[in-house]
Chain A
Amino acid sequence: EIVLTQSPGTLSLSPGERATLSCRASHTVISTYLAWYQQRPGQAPRLLIYDASIRATGVPDRFSGSGSGTDFTLTISRLEPEDFAVYYCQQHATSPYTFGQGAKLEIK
């Protein structure tokens, strides 16, 4: 099983700042099959990025994903108030398709 570790666990930033979230895998994620999701309180998760770097339909271009192998990054270039939420990475390469533990992005 591939274990995904997200860091930091909580990130405190202000609107307009840049956010960088990390996801490290215990084994190589084949074909960069890694996705990022955003979950706001009381809502279902929403797909942001798949295959490490491809933005899902309707996702603003301030969200970008990068990485390969075991190290992946989600970057939000300029934070908007609605971006403060919990973010999860998930590998969809090797069953079981594990999630990271989540990273909370909070307003400073």
Chain B
Amino acid sequence: QVQLVQSGSELKKPGASVKVSCKASGYSFTANSMNWVRQAPGQGLEWIGWINTNTGNPTYAPGFTGRFVFSLDTSVSTAYLEISSLKTEDTAVYYCARYRYLDYWGQGTLVTVSS
């Protein structure tokens, strides 16, 4: 069965970086795009962007360019989201989700940014 398993919670200081992983199983990793979605505490869902898992080409939503970077390691069927120069307002749960209509989701990774 399709599964997306994300890395565990992170506590970071402002200015630091964090890298969240999303390991896929149960399907051909390069056959479906991977999206990233953010949910701040008590708030709605925000689409960060997606990465073409076949070509590695990323697309970022406005407001998520520069500090947010998607990458892949296709040898281990894993997608990554790296956020640099963390701000307190980056505190959120980050989800990976497969394909253009997000048919499977990871369990979420809580990133807390606090001094």
Residues of chain A having any CB pair with chain B under 8 Å: 1, 33, 35, 37, 39, 44-47, 50-51, 56, 88, 90, 92, 95-102
Contacts and interface: CB of A to CB of B under 8 A. Distances in A.
Contacts of B108: 44
A1 B46 CA distance: 13
Nearest to B63: A96
Contacts of A97: 35, 47, 50, 61, 100
B62 interface: yes
12 contacts: A35-B101, A37-B45, A37-B102, A45-B45, A47-B101, A47-B102, A50-B103, A51-B101, A90-B45, A96-B61, A97-B100, A100-B44
A51 B100 CA distance: 10
A73 B97 CA distance: 23
Contacts of A51: 101
Given A35-B101, A47-B103, A95-B59, A88 B35 contact: no
B106 A44 contact: yes
A45 B95 contact: yes
Interface of B: 35, 37, 44-47, 49-50, 59, 61-62, 95, 97, 100-108
B49 A44 contact: no
A99 B45 contact: yes
Given A97-B47, A99-B47, A102-B44, A90 B102 contact: yes
B105 A46 contact: yes
A56 B50 CA distance: 21
A56 B102 CA distance: 11
A45 B107 CA distance: 9
Contacts of A47: 101-105
A96 B102 contact: no
B62 to A, nearest CB: 6
Contacts of B46: 99
Contacts of A90: 45, 47, 101-102
Nearest to A96: B61
A33 B99 CA distance: 13
Question: Which of A1, A47, A56, A88 has the most C-beta atoms of chain B within 10 angstroms of its own C-beta?
Answer: A47
